[in-house]
Structure 1
Amino acid sequence: MITSIIENKSSRQNLWNAAKNLAFPTAIWRLPRQSEKHFLTSFEEIPQQSKIDFEELGAGFAFSPFVNPDGGKTFFLKADLHYIFNANESTQNEDFKEVISPSALNPHFIELMNGEIQALKSISDNKTTNQHTTKQEFIDLVEKGIAEIENGIFQKVVLSRTKQLVLPPDFDVVATFDKLCKAYPSAFISAVSLPHLGVVWMGASPEVLVSQDSEGIFRTMALAGTQSAYDSDGKLIKPSEALWRQKEIEEQSFVTRYIINCLKKIRVREFEEEGPKTVIAGNLMHLRTDIIIDTVAINFPQLATVMLDLLHPTSAVCGMPKIPATEFILSNEGYDRDFFSGFLGPVNIQSSEGQVESHIFVNLRTMKIEGNVATLYAGCGITADSNPEKEWNETEMKTQTLGKVLNSEF
């Protein structure tokens, strides 16, 4: 059993390093407002790609790009090995639970865990793509989007940009993951390693796409509208005292209507709607409406699978109507979003209490790590009332979510 060799403070670090050195696709994550940290690795060097069907798939981790026709480009990291870690305050260590134990494991994995051998493989060092959007490029893009709205092409479009940073020499994925967990307790914190692509994606997402717990309670949310969580004096604003412009209220209402229209398509009318309300996500505030459905009461156990297909990509990451907004994004942003504004999260994963749940989040507040370079991504919703300068400032605030944790000049 592996459990006998990871009873030390750096156990998650050892697991991560061993999986990386063997080129195993790996995910670590922590759900919002929880203390459990999960480690999952697949023994397939290239993870399978398939549509996410919660009723048919076993335990694993989904990772999907922004553009994903029919859902077939989603990576599914099968849970060949799954551990849950909990902080133990009395020992200042981590207790762990082995949820899935493989019947056969590459012997090099244990040797790497013990530090008995050196790395067996060099991870693919793909050439880092030069993706850095200038301020003028983004302002020009926003102005073009506003012009298309005025021409009646769409009502809203979500435009994004990138920012690249050189990582410090001592950068460490697991240590940075722990920093993000501490800094953003209400976010979904994750790190996903895809060695066959030579990349690691890290993020602190505030937005649930679909979630279904062991009791059959389905949840999704409309999260849009952004402002700083701090006033001009640097003091945290109370959510109850936040003031919202018409632009942000309208932007968020587009997303709520989009979700409700998806429910109408499948004739689901029994749902609970909470909000909109102001929520804090790191250094930002957003407007959020929660949609909650009891799938047992309406006899619709497949709701999460059906809604994932209908929702992605939501108007919170592309626009409204979806097709013309997406076409504008693909033709004008000037770079490949890749997994930014896609979705990710655990599928049919067991908690330490034994409940099996699925939680899929929109891949926001995220960065791609290639070698020693981090590419940060940020977007904002553009409506007829948008101000290009303010939209640039909004993306700057959003890149700070991860940027300030990197110990780089920011």
Structure 2
Amino acid sequence: MQSDYSFHTTSLTRVAEHHPQAIDFWETARSLGVPAALWRLPNQREKHLIVSFDEVLPRVAADLDELPAGFLISPFDNITDGLSDDEKSAKTLFLRADLQVVFSDNNQIDIKNTAEETAADFWQALMTSARRSSNQAVSASAVTLLSEPDIETNYVRNVAEAVEAMQRGDFRKVVLSRTKHVVFADAPNAVSLFDKLCQTYPTAFVSAVSIPERGQIWISATPERLVSTDANGIFQTAALAGTQSVFNPDGTTKRPAEAMWSQKEIEEQAIVCRYIIECFKKIRLREYIEEGPKSIVAGNLMHLGTRFTVDTQAVRYPQLGTVMLRLLHPTSAVCGTPRDVAFSFIREHETHNRELYSGFLGPVNIDTSEGAATDIFVHIRCMKLEGKLATLYAGAGLTEDSDPEREWQETEMKCQTLLKVILTNE
């Protein structure tokens, strides 16, 4: 098959009148029923896309040192303590990077193909998609917020029960989540929503993941890094908790240095920090840099954040990313502490299945100019798309000082992260 592209080279740059865009690769993958992941790292402009030619995604152990280039996405309910190796690998989905594309600011694309024998059908479909989309604009779609009259009452009641349990000393923190549902007049264009999120939230990790076997697309703009290791072996994780609006009552924007935090919010964030430090202690790691807490702006919200950094080469611990990922998830920022007690409370009181919300996701061993890098984030500020129906997820970290009505309002603010983008799509 003749083409202006050659998949027999490791990477290439194509400049042509109608070169494929991210939407073309994305829609081609969907038309062929294969998974795809599209993402943009915080404070960067390049967009990345991978396509896996596995119609059914493998379930893998989250071993960042052994996995090939690809994209991990894991559910919240993925606690591995006390499980066999087979049970541990049953839930984390892995999109192998059979096709990798980088979209640069200057309208150039770099392509790397690692599955040449299976790419021919994809490439032929891609060129058809590119010709079609070059003559079609992405249409907007009206949206309707579904009325759910009992959800606030139930959430406030559950928060009150959690506060009573913490005041009795049953546990110290728990994160309760809820959902909000939106119906589109037409199935929305995920790439269009992704692009809007990239524009609106430049400091977030923005992603869209298509999982055909589940009939789902997950879209998120998360501010919370779980683990990352760059090409130089620098490991990072972060504690992010406590939430307030980035706007003053008069509508002006707050300066992070002037943000006022309540004792409840300070303690909530400190619990997450202590959780990370306890994980370091479990592996006898003492050589880390702790920066914070300080106010972090994440779109329409502000959080308290602390960053932890480790030079894995200096401490001779190249597997630190994998080890910490298994120790940290699910962190007290999305579950609670003690973890097992909080997890049980969540399962007893939340009526929805979190699925991939509050799990983790991100690119693994992706080539950069300096070498392979891994960036895994906590899957929050996200929504699940199933045809015309979107399910948004939001949670609030609760302590014994929590006020149920205020915690409900916090979840409403978090839903606005995605809602403001959705509603401007009309």
TM-score under structure 1 normalisation?
0.92
Q: CA deviation at 1:168?
A: 4.4
**CA, structure 1 residues 96+154, in 2 after alignment: closer, same or farther (shift >3 Å)?**
same
**CA, structure 1 residues 131+16, in 2 after alignment: closer, same or farther (shift >3 Å)?**
farther
Q: CA deviation at 1:36?
A: 0.9
- 1:100 aligns to what? 113
Aligned residues between the structures: 393
Q: CA deviation at 1:171?
A: 2.3
Query: Conserved in 2, the CA contact under 8 Å of 1:341 and 1:363?
Result: yes
Q: Which amino acid aligns with 1:100?
A: N
- 1:114 aligns to what? 127
Distance 2:20 2:354 in 1: 34
Query: Conserved in 2, the CA contact under 8 Å of 1:30 and 1:190?
Result: yes
Aligned: 1:404 with 2:398? no
Counterpart selection for 2:230 from 213, 216, 220: 213
Distance 1:362 1:131 in 2: 29
1:91-149 per-residue CA deviation (whole Å, 9 max, x = no partner) reads: xxx2111133432234332232122799xxxxxxxxxxx99671111101101111111
Aligned: 1:23 with 2:41? no
1:57-76 per-residue CA deviation (whole Å, 9 max, x = no partner) reads: 11000000001143421001
Aligned: 1:61 with 2:78? no
Aligned: 1:143 with 2:160? yes
Query: Conserved in 2, the CA contact under 8 Å of 1:131 and 1:162?
Result: no
Report SS of the residue matched to 2:342.
Answer: helix
Aligned counterparts, 1:43-62, within 5 A = 43-62=53-72
Q: CA deviation at 1:176?
A: 0.9
- 1:122 aligns to what? none
- 2:46 aligns to what? 36
Q: Which amino acid aligns with 2:247?
A: Y
Q: Which amino acid aligns with 2:212?
A: P
Query: Conserved in 2, the CA contact under 8 Å of 1:168 and 1:408?
Result: no
Q: Which amino acid aligns with 1:53?
A: D
Q: Which of 96-105 and 398-407 deviates more? A: 96-105
TM-score under structure 2 normalisation?
0.89
Q: Which amino acid aligns with 1:21?
A: S
Counterpart selection for 1:389 from 376, 381, 405: 405
Aligned counterparts, 1:7-406, within 5 A = 7=16, 8=18, 10-70=20-80, 71-72=88-89, 73-88=91-106, 94-115=107-128, 134-169=151-186, 171-351=188-368, 353-406=369-422
Q: Which amino acid aligns with 2:177?
A: S
Distance 1:183 1:409 in 2: 13
- 1:125 aligns to what? none
Q: Which amino acid aligns with 1:41?
A: V
- 1:123 aligns to what? none
Q: Which amino acid aligns with 1:156?
A: K
**CA, structure 1 residues 97+131, in 2 after alignment: closer, same or farther (shift >3 Å)?**
farther
Q: CA deviation at 1:6?
A: 8.6
Q: Which amino acid aligns with 2:35?
A: P
Distance 1:178 1:218 in 2: 28
Distance 1:291 1:114 in 2: 45
Query: Conserved in 1, the CA contact under 8 Å of 2:187 and 2:387?
Result: no
Distance 1:4 1:24 in 2: 24
Distance 2:170 2:357 in 1: 24
Identity of aligned residues (%): 48
1:26-49 per-residue CA deviation (whole Å, 9 max, x = no partner) reads: 100000000110010110001110
Where structure 1 has 5 or more consecutive residues not aligned to the other structure, the ranges are 89-93, 119-129
Q: Which of 253-262 and 7-16 deviates more? A: 7-16
Distance 1:281 1:10 in 2: 32
